[in-house]
Amino acid sequence: MDQIDLLPNSRLNFQLPWDVRHFLDVVGRALARWPRSAIGAIALAAVTAIGVLDYLTGLKISLSVFHLVPVSFAVWFGKKHDGLIIAIIASLVWSADDLMAGYAYGHPGIFIWDIVAHGIFLSFGAMLLRILREHLTDEQRLARHDSLTGILNWRAFQERLDYSLAWSARDRQPLTLAYLDLDDFKKIND
């Protein structure tokens, strides 16, 4: 990804190093082969582990913000609504942890309000990340495909060539590149 839209009138340019992009690509492809129920189970186990650790650390150290990690994992790699489901479960675990740790609520309504506030916080994060992921996917597709024909463009060719060259160098295998030049193709294209 070359550019991210932060605000309508500003653009932040950055390029991830090749090895980071490769690592994220490998992890993404590996997780894409997993059943979606496994993604949800991992996120649920992480929420439970964070809740237990939060309880064990007591009221002085709060690990509640770490519930965003499994929620983000479920949003990024799971089905469309996995993030919201994990966010709701995480808010319940977060609130139950506060209650079991001995947090004194002055009124029972405050406990209910905390559950709702935690749920809104985590659900909002899940929805924002889902929107970001959808826009990122669209931007990646638009950046690598010709808008008229839908075929891969020069950027996609360059990325695949860099990837293939790095793979070839790593495995010490030869790489062959063949290309075809069509004379006067611009006339047909126009």
Q: What is the chain's pLDDT, residue by residue, as a tens digit (190 residues)?
A: 444 433 344 444 445 565 666 777 777 778 778 887 888 888 889 998 988 888 888 777 777 788 889 998 898 888 878 889 999 999 999 888 888 887 778 888 888 888 899 899 999 999 999 998 888 888 888 888 888 888 888 888 888 888 888 888 888 999 998 878 777 777 776 6
Whole-number pLDDT of residue 19: 67
**Among 4, 75, 11, 8, which Cα is nearest to 40's?**
75
Whole-number pLDDT of residue 18: 59
Whole-number pLDDT of residue 78: 83
Neighbours of 109 (CB within 10 A): 9
Its pTM surpasses 0.85: no
End-to-end CA distance of the chain: 29
Whole-number pLDDT of residue 15: 56
At residue 149, φ and ψ (nearest 5 deg) are -100, -25
Whole-number pLDDT of residue 190: 67
Whole-number Å distance between alpha carbons of 190 and 181: 17
Torsion of CA 170, 139, 69, 126, to 10 degrees: -160
Residues 6+ apart with CB under 8 A from 136: 1, 4
